[in-house]
Structure 1
Amino acid sequence: MKKQYRVGQHIKVRVTGIQPYGAFVETPDNTEGLIHISEVMDDYVHNLKKLLTPGQIVKAKIISIDDTGKLNLSLRDNDYFKNYERKKVKRSVLDEIKETEKYGFQSLAERLPTWVKQSKKRIEDTSK
């Protein structure tokens, strides 16, 4: 017997597959669903496989139920993914300039070698 689900309900689901556009999931009573990539977190998600893996169990919120009973889910209310957004590595040298700018203006020529080193290090770190 299938359980009755309602929009807004939080449920635990198991990830059964991952595609570039989202993750397929299943409830304990074998009801199928999809977590679209745009519903994982508020930030841009480039690669869903870095956040979810098949077999993983996550708590998701039901955002809609289609005519066939399949669930459309969201992870945006999930505390783990909210915290993940906050922990993300800085994506731009400009973010670092705003945080570290304490001594006034330095010319671009003076700062350029430091920026190049930082960028090369980030490229090396991400290629590992």
Structure 2
Amino acid sequence: MRKQYKVGQFLKVKVTGIQPYGAFVETPDHVEGLIHISEVMNDYVHNLNQFLTVGQIVKAKIIKVESDGKLNLTLKENEYFKRQERKKERRSVLDEIKETEKYGFQPLEERLPKWIEQSNKHLQDD
């Protein structure tokens, strides 16, 4: 027999799949759920793969129980993801380098003036 889940309840769920719009999860008693990309943190999340991986177990809060028993969950009250938000606020210019960019002396030389400009702007804003 399945547990009765309630809105506001916290539970640990396992990530079973990741799509551009959200992460599919499953409870220990095999109830399926979804963590929509907008429910990971208050900041904009471009890529869920930066925060979640298949097989990862996370503590989530139920925000809705569908009529078919499936769960809609949020990570916004999870302390780990709250810390990630605070870290994003303190990003450096170096954090903006994309993983897909080519590395080497020439690309660095081309980007250096822009990075210096961004750093100076950041210092003036503080």
- The equivalent residue for 1:98 is 125
Runs of 4+ in 1 over 3 A off after TM superposition: 90-96
2-side partners of 1:22 and 1:57: how far apart?
15
Which segments of 5 or more consecutive residues in structure 2 lack a partner in the other structure? 97-117
What is the aligned length? 99
Normalising by the residue count of structure 2, what TM-score does the alignment of the two structures yield? Answer: 0.75
Partner AA of 1:83 in structure 2: R
SS at match of 1:97: helix
The one-character-per-residue Cα deviations of 1:23-59 (angstroms, maximum 9, x if unpaired) are 0000000000000000000000000011000000000
SS at match of 2:63: strand
Alpha-carbon offset, residue 98 of structure 1: 1.2
- The equivalent residue for 2:51 is 51
1-side partners of 2:4 and 2:57: how far apart?
20
- The equivalent residue for 1:116 is none
Alpha-carbon offset, residue 96 of structure 1: 3.4
- The equivalent residue for 1:31 is 31
Say if 1:25 and 1:33, in contact at 8 Å, map to a contact too: yes
- Which structure's CA Rg is the greater one? 1
Q: How big is the alpha-carbon RMSD for the aligned residues of Structure 1 and Structure 2? A: 1.4
Which segments of 5 or more consecutive residues in structure 1 lack a partner in the other structure? 100-128
Percent of matched pairs sharing the same residue? 66
SS at match of 1:84: helix
